[in-house]
């Protein structure tokens, strides 16, 4: 099943986790670390009230707003702005309809971030390639290794949550943590290369 189909079929928890996992993997671009989004993951695991989700989201935004800053290379600056957009558009309302739109946007944005960090031109519009990949039409696509791995992670998170419900959150978090470390390594390589 394609990523687009998985998002279309996901429930509220799956959509929230999908969007949050995309943001979580990109959070180092905003000065965050492994613990930054833990309160939101906890909110999903505890099935906390929507008000608690909104409150934790606002606290995280405050922390990342203070830490957010570019590292000096154009590609990383663009990637950081894209990641920041995922954060600022995260909905305080935890309804399926609102979360589905956010999860779709985060999916596209995270793929764009990974393409840029793998050497893609930040100014190049890769929308068609990203959309084709999300629809499962990957044959012959010039997807970078980072972008391909991010696509697989997004699919895995949604499949795990669809198959295991709340019990799948732990695995989704593990996938996100692994992806965050890959992104940090890619960012470090890019910084060394760009001097």
Q: Would the pLDDT of 70 be above 50?
A: no
Task: Return the HEC string of 119-184.
Answer: CCCCCCCCHHHHHHHHCCCCCCCCCCHHHHHHHHHHHHHHHHHHHHHHHHHHHHHHHHHHHHHHHH
| HSE-CB for 170 with a 13 A CA cutoff | 2
CB-based contacts of 83: which residues, under 8 Å, 6+ apart? 23, 26, 27, 29, 30, 109, 113
- When pLDDT is averaged across residues 166-191 and rounded to a whole number, the result is 91
Q: pLDDT value at position 195?
A: 57
Number of domains in the chain: 1
pLDDT digits 0-9 by tens, 1-58: 899 999 999 999 999 999 999 999 999 999 998 899 999 999 888 877 778 899 999 9
Query: Whole-angstrom Cα distance, residue 15 to residue 100?
Result: 6
Query: Whole-angstrom Cα distance, residue 129 to residue 192?
Result: 28
Residue burial 38-55, b: 16+ Cβ < 10 Å; e: rest: ebbbebbbeebeeebbbe
Q: Whole domain around residue 93: which residue ranges?
A: 3-194
Q: pLDDT value at position 144?
A: 83
pLDDT digits 0-9 by tens, 169-178: 999 999 999 9
pLDDT digits 0-9 by tens, 142-152: 778 899 999 99
Least confident of 85-89, 127-131, 191-195: 191-195
Q: pLDDT value at position 137?
A: 86
Residue 148, both tokens = 């391909």
pLDDT digits 0-9 by tens, 109-131: 999 999 888 877 766 767 777 88
């Amino acid at each position: 099943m394609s990523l687009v189909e998985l998002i279309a079929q996901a429930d509220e928890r799956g959509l929230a986790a999908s969007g949050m996992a995309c943001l979580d993997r990109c959070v180092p671009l905003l000065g965050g670390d492994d613990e930054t989004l833990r309160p939101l993951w906890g909110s999903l695991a505890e099935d906390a009230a929507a008000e608690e989700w909104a409150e934790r989201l606002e606290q995280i935004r405050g922390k990342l707003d203070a830490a957010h800053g570019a590292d000096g290379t154009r590609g990383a600056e663009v990637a950081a702005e894209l990641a920041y957009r995922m954060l600022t558009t995260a909905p305080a309302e935890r309804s399926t309809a609102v979360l589905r739109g956010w999860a779709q946007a985060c999916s596209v944005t995270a793929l764009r971030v990974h393409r840029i960090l793998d050497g893609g031109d930040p100014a190049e519009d890769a929308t068609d390639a990203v959309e084709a990949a999300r629809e499962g039409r990957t044959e012959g696509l010039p997807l970078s290794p980072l972008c391909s791995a991010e696509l697989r992670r997004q699919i895995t998170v949604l499949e795990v949550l669809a198959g295991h419900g709340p019990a799948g959150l732990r695995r989704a978090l593990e996938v996100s943590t692994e992806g965050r470390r890959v992104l940090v390594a890619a960012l470090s390589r890019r910084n060394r290369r760009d001097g």
